[in-house]
Amino acid sequence: MPRAQISKRRENAALFTAALLAAVGGLVYELVLGTAASYLVGDSVLSFSLATGITLFGMGLGSLLAPRLRWEPATAFAVNEILLGLLGGNCVLLLYVAYARPQSYWLVFGAVSLVIGVLIGLEIPLLLRTFDQLGRPSSVRLLSQVLALDYFGALVAALVFPLVLLPELGLVRGTYLVGAVNVVVALVVLAQVRARRRVLVAAALAAALLVGLFTGASQLERQVGSMAYQDPVIHYQQSAYQQIVLTRYHQDLRLYLNGQLQFSSLDEARYHETLAGAALSSVARPRDVLVLGGGDGLLARELLRWPEVETVTVVDIDPAVTQLARSSPPVRELNGGSLDDPRVQVRNEDAFTMTAQGAQAYDVVLIDLVDPSNERLAKLYSVEMYQQVDRLLRPGGVLVTQATSSFFSPNAFAVVASSVAAAMPDASVLPFTVNVPSFGEWGFVLATRDRGQVLSHSLPQGQRYQTLERLRLEMLDRPPVLPPAEPSTLLRPRVVQVYNEDMRQWRYY
């Protein structure tokens, strides 16, 4: 084969590889922007909609700007990739720094998304001009090949980001890796032409910087993630499902999942004793208990105080949470090693799927899930979910679910109560609240077909806060008055919209 033909094939392979890698990086940046914003503000629909919309608008601007660039095409493409790698690689850091001043957060988010979009939009036009520079004039066939690689790269990114980058490397480290790939793309293209020395030096420095940041990203990610928390962070982890953070200030140990407080060791007994006590004191023989959520082991600790309890099944989708509950000394001390008790079975499954497929019957089902702040969680607060739970209850069984804050999100509380009532129309549905200082007034909903059994049995020894008298006052003597609310279903997940509308007045949006 003639040397010129070999060289041409090598150039084509290099440029097509660059097109594929650039496409992967472009979509990953969109996903990173949406994910980082959803972690910070909690509204995934708004976050991903803005990330996608602003980035695509920027791509349009970039495509229009490409013909105005007068640089030699390969050099212009390489410089574009270097800039994209540096900005894209550091975009998470920029967003977390901006979140320290919430009033300007969305302005910074929009600016970063727009510039990244412009740089992505420049890629294909500049790459086509580079093909032309190397002796392959633009044609419909060439354009279709480059666009096909762009679409294929989008699929690769859509699979790699949630399945590999995010769970294995974390948000910050994974983004630095993608930024380094952009610089590698620049070097691949520069290797095909007689590149300017300054551009090669810039690419080498950018690559060294991003590799260094990638190497130290674990510590940097912890420091960046810690900026959102007032207390010292003692554990920071990005699992396949969520960001897990433990903070400690003196005796106050706190767990956060995706920025939402799950417990404070100073007052968590109020929450967990209420959830367990309200249910088990309303069942004659609470032998088998199902807990949906509760991976920190604190609710299981309370359930094990009841001598009648024979089995506790804890269903938490995230093995990282249950592993933390078992292995972290301060958390294990707080939960009393409950998840390793022989009566406790831990199942790392999706609660909705488990209840849909479950064959075992339970005397009590307790739902201790994170608040319905995004669409991924909406199904866990739907009528269909509570219908599935109802089918698992034995005659005389009781369901109790946490129902968000009755003060901060009263309308979401009402939606949860309405959804339970719609799912169990022949049951007595009792909404009630308890004051947990770190959360404020917190809402719960109890459902039973035997109202006469409610609070008819004594509480176990070892209660630090709750008593039957207090429960009776909270549940029966002064129940909360809830506003009318439509139930939330799989097709109309109203609970997410209502929850975020409730919370918007307490956040900077």
How many CA atoms, within 13 angstroms, populate the side-chain half-sphere of residue 222?
Answer: 11
Contact of 32 with 176, CB cutoff 8 Å: no
Binding site annotation covers 450? no
Binding site annotation covers 296? yes
So what's the pLDDT on residue 429? 96
Higher per-residue pLDDT: 100 or 205:
205
So what's the pLDDT on residue 238? 78
Which of 218, 253, 212 lies closest to 232 in space, CA to CA?
A: 253
**Single pTM value for the model:** 0.76
Say which amino acid occupies 234: I
Binding site annotation covers 351? yes
Residues 346, 335: Cα–Cα separation, whole Å: 14
Question: What is the share, in percent, of the chain residues with pLDDT greater than 90?
Answer: 58
Neighbour-count burial of 462, counting CB atoms closer than 10 A to its CB (0-12 exposed, 13-18 middle, 19+ buried)? exposed
Structure tokens at 414: 């009402």
Which of 23, 5, 293 lies closest to 152 in space, CA to CA?
A: 23
Binding site annotation covers 242? yes
Look at residue 479 and give its three-state secondary structure.
Answer: coil
Question: Where are the alpha helices (H) located in 439-484, listed in sequence order?
Answer: 468-472
Contact of 73 with 136, CB cutoff 8 Å: no
Residues 276, 407: Cα–Cα separation, whole Å: 22
H or E stretch at 327: helix 319-327
Name the residue ranges covered by the structural domains of the chain.
Answer: 1-228, 267-505
Residues 227, 241: Cα–Cα separation, whole Å: 21
Contact of 479 with 422, CB cutoff 8 Å: no
Residues 98, 131: Cα–Cα separation, whole Å: 40
Residues 282, 491: Cα–Cα separation, whole Å: 33
Q: How many Cβ atoms are within 10 Å of 245's Cβ, its own excluded?
A: 25
Q: What is the pLDDT of residues 122-132, one digit of tens each?
A: 998 988 888 88
Most confident of 18-22, 35-39, 134-138, 411-415: 411-415
Question: What is the share, in percent, of the chain residues with pLDDT greater than 70?
Answer: 94
Q: What is the pLDDT of residues 201-248, one digit of tens each?
A: 888 899 899 989 888 877 776 676 666 678 888 998 878 788 899 999
pLDDT at 397 over 60: yes
Q: Looking at the domain covering 267-505, what would its CATH class be? A: alpha beta
Contact of 89 with 180, CB cutoff 8 Å: yes
Active site members: 368
pLDDT at 402 over 50: yes
pLDDT at 180 over 80: yes
Residues 38, 432: Cα–Cα separation, whole Å: 30
Residue appearing with tokens 């496409």 = 23
What average pLDDT score do residues 77-100 get? 89
How many CA atoms, within 13 angstroms, populate the side-chain half-sphere of residue 59?
Answer: 14
Q: What is the pLDDT of residues 302-356, one digit of tens each?
A: 999 999 999 999 999 999 999 999 999 999 999 999 999 999 999 999 999 999 9
Q: What is the pLDDT of residues 28-58, one digit of tens each?
A: 999 999 888 877 776 677 888 889 999 999 9
Contact of 148 with 92, CB cutoff 8 Å: no
Q: What is the pLDDT of residues 244-261, one digit of tens each?
A: 999 999 999 999 998 889
Q: Who's near 67: CB < 8 A, 6+ residues apart?
A: 125
DSSP conformational letter for 90: T
So what's the pLDDT on residue 507? 55
Same fold? 1-228, 267-505: no
Q: Who's near 199: CB < 8 A, 6+ residues apart?
A: 75, 78, 79, 82, 190
Residues 157, 163: Cα–Cα separation, whole Å: 10
pLDDT at 109 over 60: yes
So what's the pLDDT on residue 6? 55
DSSP conformational letter for 42: S
Q: What is the pLDDT of residues 469-506, one digit of tens each?
A: 999 998 988 889 899 999 999 989 999 989 988 987 77
Correct CATH for 1-228 of 1.20.120, 1.10.10, 1.20.1250, 2.60.40? 1.20.1250
So what's the pLDDT on residue 509? 40
Look at residue 448 and give its three-state secondary structure.
Answer: strand
What average pLDDT does the chain have? 89
- Give the confidence band of 508 by pLDDT, cuts at 50, 70, 90: very low
